[in-house]
Amino acid sequence: MPEQLPDFVLADLYPSNLVIIESGISSTLNASAATVSENLGLTEIKVEPIHSPVESVIAKEKIKTISSDLAPIHSQPSERPEKWYLGNNGKNCTILVYEPNAAFLNEESLDFLTKILGACKLNMGDVAVINMARYQAHFAEIKKELNPSTCLLFNVTTASIKLPFLIPPFQVQQFDACKFLIAPSLTKFYGDSAEAKLEKTKLWVSLKSLFNL
């Protein structure tokens, strides 16, 4: 069955058309979304848990291919600011980003993040966003202070927050009562290029698994 795309993906797939989102979406829009889903290969995208990441040669190779795009790992955290995360953490969802030119998120990243949270029935009050370029938090500290049940890492490695495992991108992994998802930098999702559309589609499939949508 073709995948139903959320608003933040549809808006970029149809930039020249007015897309009206209502409780009952028209059959024409459903058919168009289904066609795009099939063209993008959504039905073939699967998110499988990795049970033994250290022993998985395939997982290691996948991780190597994205290592150059990820944020650098710092050995020691910087001094923690008084306000070290954005949001109210209402639903214990921690989001780690790496944005050197912003206190937390630049305008375009905030806009995209707000859209994907909306597609997951969340808002900024439900999450805690930590900019790792501003403060290098470790998971032990995050666990103690925020007690996350889900953790999204955009352009941040598990090694940089002192986790004992690696995860390929767009794959959900559970550890210490928390589900983790690794994804590229938020800048990779900007715009309506073919590459950005594909990245958004892969992210949406992973988010559905992460939040049981």
pLDDT tens profile 79-137: 777 889 999 999 999 999 999 999 999 999 999 999 999 999 999 999 999 999 999 99
CA–CA gap between residue 193 and residue 190 (Å, rounded): 8
- The pLDDT assigned to 46 comes to 45
pTM equals: 0.68
Cα 206 to Cα 22, 29, 57, 76, 173, distances in angstroms: 24, 23, 22, 31, 11
End-to-end CA separation in angstroms for the chain: 16
The DSSP secondary-structure symbol of 66 reads H
Cα 170 to Cα 13, 103, 184, 202, distances in angstroms: 20, 26, 9, 7
- The pLDDT assigned to 16 comes to 54
- Fold type of domain 7-211: Uracil-DNA Glycosylase, subunit E (3.40.470)
- The pLDDT assigned to 44 comes to 44
